Amino acid sequence: IYSPTNGFVYCFACKLFSNDQKNRFGNVGFQDWKHADRALSMHENSECHCCAMVTLTTRMDAEGCIDKCLVTQYRAEKQYWRDVLSCVLNVVRFLAERGLAFCSENEILGSPFLGQHINKHGNMGRSHASYLSSTICEEFIALLGEKVF
């Protein structure tokens, strides 16, 4: 962590979890830029830094973290959208391999097929991606085409 007020660098893990008073990166901070490479290397391999890192990673993996629920929710949502994109890419690839059109002339929102799909997935609000437009599909086709050639 860099402190712009005093120009010192601190080690995040050592600042939180190191009790060693001799640890400059945890207590006083480091400012000797001329010897930074050697000092950082020595610090990373020091026993107090290794202990602090073990404590930090143990606490981050513990079930009691404040943001554990948010991290789990974020990962689930990220995986969901990866699965959606994978499905769209598989459909685009399937249609392209067979030379089929992606959609017919009936691309209006009131069609029976699209109506159910849009009601279920499309109108989730401004910050939710739905990937329903033909523009997005055409972009996928163009990107896939660049990968092929």
48 and 73, same domain (yes or no): no
Q: Identify the pLDDT of residue 53.
A: 92
Of 13, 96, 76, give the one whose Cα is nearest residue 49.
13
53 and 88, same domain (yes or no): no
Q: Identify the pLDDT of residue 45.
A: 92
Tens of pLDDT, residue by residue, the chain (149 residues): 888 898 889 998 888 888 887 788 888 888 888 888 898 899 899 999 999 999 888 887 766 667 777 778 888 998 988 888 888 778 777 877 777 766 655 555 455 655 565 566 655 655 555 565 667 767 777 877 777 65
97 and 137, same domain (yes or no): yes
23 and 84, same domain (yes or no): no
94 and 55, same domain (yes or no): no
57 and 73, same domain (yes or no): no
Residue range of the domain that includes 47: 2-61
Q: Identify the pLDDT of residue 57.
A: 83
78 and 32, same domain (yes or no): no
Q: Tell me how many domains the chain contains.
A: 2
52 and 73, same domain (yes or no): no
d(CA 50, CA 11): 11
45 and 76, same domain (yes or no): no
Last residue of one domain, picked from the residues 14, 46, 61? 61
Last residue of one domain, picked from the residues 20, 37, 61? 61
Q: Identify the pLDDT of residue 109.
A: 47
